[in-house]
Amino acid sequence: MESSHPGLLEHLAVNGQHPEFLFLGCSDSRVSEGTIFDALPGMLFAERNIANQYNENDRNTNAVMSYAVESLDVQHIIVMGHQGCGGASAAVGSPPPQPWDTADFAVQEWILPLRKLYAESDRPEIVEYRNKYPGGDNVPKPTLHDPVLRAMVEENVKQTVSKIASSQLIEERYSNSTKAAVFIHGLVYDVENGVITNLDVSVGPPGIHIPPIPFPHRKAPAEVFTVQSYGP
């Protein structure tokens, strides 16, 4: 670090952090913010949980987001899902038989919003999978290349972006025209090839132009970029 970016650590230690981005991603060990963006220290303020979810009643995530937006003045909130997400897969498959132990209960309670998403989504891949297993009994967990899992990953990111945008924190921010704009973006990372896809669900304050996502990403199959460093 010192040889490739001399003085960076000392600068951050003396001057503090001023990240432009809040990264909300999954806890999966393959998809940390440093892995995805090859990020340097001071670039991304981060929060990670199973299946990159946001719930206003989750004190931890809400505290992280509040601090990032109001104290650090981040400009962009990046919601990053990933293909092969175990949380999304578990939400599609049948739950483990009861009685649940402490670990089962914690996980199953956490993925309830995803189970609701699976049950109510009208996305064709999800509807097809539901129809394949009517009644919801003995539903297998989908794997990496199953269309239903890829659809769930994307729809979950869209749902998280929507929840953040409609949260009290962001609504209050957007109602105050004296404060800097905050933009929310939904991306998906492919664990097989490192490609980032923009789901085109970005949100910003009313009447404010939403800038392009400041990371390399794919908007169509023909436009594939590799992840690179955006550090100094």
Cβ-Cβ contacts under 8 Å for 124 (sequence gap 6 or more):
151
Is 76 within 8 Å of 187 (Cβ atoms)?
A: no
Closest CA to 231 of 7, 8, 47: 8
209 assigned ligand-binding residue: no
38 assigned ligand-binding residue: no
11 assigned ligand-binding residue: no
Is 218 within 8 Å of 188 (Cβ atoms)?
A: no
Cβ-Cβ contacts under 8 Å for 131 (sequence gap 6 or more):
none
Any idea what DSSP says for residue 38?
-
Q: Which two tokens stand for residue 33?
A: 């913010």
| CA 90 – CA 109 distance, rounded (Å) | 12
Q: Which parts are annotated binding residues?
A: 26, 28, 82, 85
Q: Which parts are annotated binding residues for Zn(2+)?
A: 26, 28, 82, 85
